[in-house]
Chain A
Amino acid sequence: MRLDPIAAPTPARTLGLPALAILATIALAAALAAIAGANPLETFGLIVKGAVGSKFATLETLNRATPLIFTGLAVATAFRARLWNIGAEAQLYAGALMTVVIGTQLGLPGPLALPLMALGAIVAGALVLLGPVLLKTRLGVDEVVTTLLLNFIMALFISYLLEGPLKDPMGMGWPKSPALPRDARLPRLVEGLRLHWGFALALICALGVWVMQTRTTLGYEIRAVGQNPQAARFAGIPVGRVLIKTALISGGLAALAGFSEVAGLKGNLTSDLSPDFGYTGIIVAMLALLHPLGVVVSALFVAGIFVGSDSMSRAAEVPTYIADILLAAALLFMVLAILLTRYRVVRG
């Protein structure tokens, strides 16, 4: 068996195969639900109902999608330049940390505090990714390893801070930071609804990344470096500098997920702030084929599956793990579908 490249794939291939991937995912999930002793159709119905069946459910899904849009954009931006940023989780926590430090320690008034918190978060996240990318461009160190390992270093560092210098004195001994003052929180998007301005910021960022990629010289450079670094270098594109700029943008975007979660939803920093938003961002970006606007759609999809599965499992007694399996299967089938749009399997 061999793979033969396809020069010009037909629309049937480019659209049909991803659709097939989604169908295959659903089939697999149905089989699993059946094994768990539930009616597959009913299970799906419950997931959909749990995700978008009521105003509360829909808002919950949008809230859950917000950090995933940020981390998805972070991954999509980096992957576009073939910069394998697996460390969105660490960058998210760096952003959350800076948000809490600026918001609780400086005592600034709200209108001044919020932009400064966001800015501080972006700088912190960018710096976290700057180290690995400098190691890559200067010494050729594989960034997959360094960014991945930084996630654990950051998690331990946050734990230390929450048990030590950043521990809330009023927290009854729980490892959590002091809460942000009222006016240093992101306001609700619509009064009375549990959806904050972080969601709007995420949409603006998606649009911004899309414009950056398609309309600016930097976006052009990033795409050239990602697709063919040798040709980019030959044409005079400073490959190292482009990778550094990409890293700063990517790290900053991931950090905004932390900012938005702390300032929009939680109000303080805990070590369980992110249930793997950074890693899930990779799935979100891959399902979106790295397209920044597609990231919004796939983040909503992924968030819907998580939120829907939670409520489904309460009603149908199918474990919530089905959400993880669904997403993992969706990712694998999608990667396979992408491969098969560009290559044909031939015997011999």
Chain B
Amino acid sequence: MTLQDTARDETVLRLSGITKRFGALTANDAISFSLAKGEVVALLGENGAGKTTLMNILFGHYTADAGEVEVFGQALPPGQPGAALAAGVGMVHQHFTLADNMTVLENVLLGTGSLWSPGLGKPAARRRLQALSEDFGLRVDPDARVAELSVGERQRVEILKALYRDARVLILDEPTAVLTPQEADALFLTLRRMVAQGLSVIFISHKLHEVMAISSRVLVLRHGKLVGEVATHDTDRHQLATLMVGAEITAPAPAEARPGAVLMRLAGLSTTPQGNRPGLRGIDLDIKAGQILGVAGVSGNGQGALADLVSGVTSPSEGRLEIAGDRVEGWNPRAALAAGIGRIPEDRHRTGTVADFTLTENAVLESYRDAPNARAGWMNWSAARRTTEALIAKYDVRCPGSEARIRLLSGGNMQKLILGRVLEAAPRIILANQPVRGLDIGAVTYVQEQLIAARDAGAAVLLISEDLDEILTLSDVIRVISDGRLSPEFARGEKTPAELGQWMAGQGFDHAA
């Protein structure tokens, strides 16, 4: 599908036949598209669809096996990140690449001046930075240290960095993942100003409503192939979702919850901040049987501290932690497991599993000392293997076998094994920290249904997620976390996403307190 209006415009970027293989996996399969001056193209696809690989090729981090990248009619030499920068392509990564201990201005200048020039030419640079800030509505103090900036401000610095280097094409990789809905709206305003001034933007996302809001054209990637190219005004969210997943999708619709007793209570509880991660600041939280409590919030607002506390990795510095009415002393991961807490960690690769261990060794990670897996200090591997094989079958873990190394598994299958490990221990409380992040849609539905089933069986579920849609779908009650504090409890449907967004931005806490 070629679009008439695009063809007429000046083409700034053209990718033709880009193919990239990693071993047996074809991450990009003959992908071609072009980007015109002054348009926003959204690149839509699930995790693992090949979006990031494609951008890494465009930006010279990877060399394509076949195909060519042209910027303003000039072919880019493959494998040279400097070439893409020089040609006017800038990228804002999902994880920022800023020097925390330097000022905004210094970060912007980093790498722009010659190694031999005596000064940095700061006064001129400051004037130029201020002009750019005003032109594009990117308000940020040039002399503030990056460490003191909010996430939204840091993103503005990243964008300014690209603009300062005369980027005419800007690539944004999942830019809204770290923003509140309000901050995302401000970003969209900036992007509109950019395209009005003739810049072009590639916007990578898997959030359909954002794609609908900002783009003029949508490219859909699935399993490394370009499966659709549609003008945004000719499509709708349902069509895009179907294109992206390749099948009709249905979100789980949990039945009415029947909350029971309070199984875990946090009262006036604080934890010590760690590095640049905020701690909890005097929170009160009741986790009830038969209920999913969703904690919404922007990344880095204390979700990690809350998850670490509930899973036993950290202890409270102040306040009280009660389990089934009893105050807890000597809190650690083993105590948490003994108290019947099942933990699904945020990072399944680094916290949830040991990559070079087999599935069996990973399946018994939390129960390796218990019968039948071990007796009096001796492992019983054949029993552990039988347990694991039953788990593999029950939770539909697709794998070469129980003795394969877990690093060979896809994220979804790895998560199913962790889910099985947690649920087979029959936990009374389940901590699910970003349980579906990075999973394909089939695995997402499976994990979410299992959590709902556990709730219906009487477990208390604490769901922490940065994806507001996920919180809204699954939670019976919602609390918002911001800078280590928790909002009051909101019932399902009590607040609109925009209202929750204001809480996520930290508004309302002072009145509530």
Contacts and interface: CB of A to CB of B under 8 A. Distances in A.
Interface of A: 4, 6-8, 215-221, 223-224, 227-228, 230-236, 238, 346-348
Contacts, number: 74
Contacts of B351: 230-231, 234
B355 A228 contact: yes
Nearest to B352: A231
9 contacts: A8-B408, A215-B381, A217-B374, A217-B379, A218-B377, A223-B357, A228-B354, A234-B351, A347-B79
Contacts of B332: 236
Interface of B: 22-23, 62-63, 78-79, 311-313, 332-334, 336-337, 343, 345, 350-357, 361, 365-366, 368-369, 374, 377-379, 381, 407-408
Nearest to A211: B378
A228 B407 contact: no
Contacts of B366: 235-236
B79 A348 contact: yes
B354 A7 contact: no
B63 A7 contact: no
A217 B369 contact: yes
Contacts of A228: 350, 353-355
Given A234-B311, A234-B343, A234-B345, A215 B354 contact: no
Given A232-B354, A234-B345, 9 more contacts: A7-B23, A7-B407, A215-B381, A216-B378, A217-B377, A221-B368, A224-B365, A230-B350, A235-B333
A244 to B, nearest CB: 16
Contacts of A230: 350-351
A227 B357 contact: yes
B355 A227 contact: yes
B24 to A, nearest CB: 9
Nearest to B421: A235
Contacts of B79: 347-348
Contact of B333 (A218, A234, A346): A234
Contact of A236 (B23, B334, B355, B377): B334
A348 B352 CA distance: 32
Nearest to B345: A234
A348 B377 contact: no
Contacts of A236: 312, 332-334, 336-337, 366
A346 to B, nearest CB: 8
A235 B78 CA distance: 44
Contact of A217 (B62, B311, B333, B368): B368
A7 B365 CA distance: 22
A215 B379 contact: yes
A8 B23 CA distance: 10
Nearest to B364: A220
Contacts of B334: 236, 238
A167 B62 CA distance: 67
Given A234-B343, A236-B366, A348-B79, A216 B350 contact: no
Q: Which of B79, B312, B333, B345 counts the most chain A CB atoms within 10 A?
A: B333
A328 to B, nearest CB: 28
A29 to B, nearest CB: 33
A236 B357 CA distance: 17
Contacts of B378: 215-217
B354 A233 contact: no
Contacts of B22: 4
Contacts of A218: 377
Given A217-B368, A217-B379, A218-B377, A233 B313 contact: yes
Nearest to B334: A236
A231 B408 contact: no
Nearest to B312: A236
A220 B345 CA distance: 21
A238 B365 CA distance: 12
Contacts of B361: 220, 224
Contacts of B368: 217, 220-221
Contacts of A235: 333, 365-366
Contacts of A233: 313, 333
B310 to A, nearest CB: 12
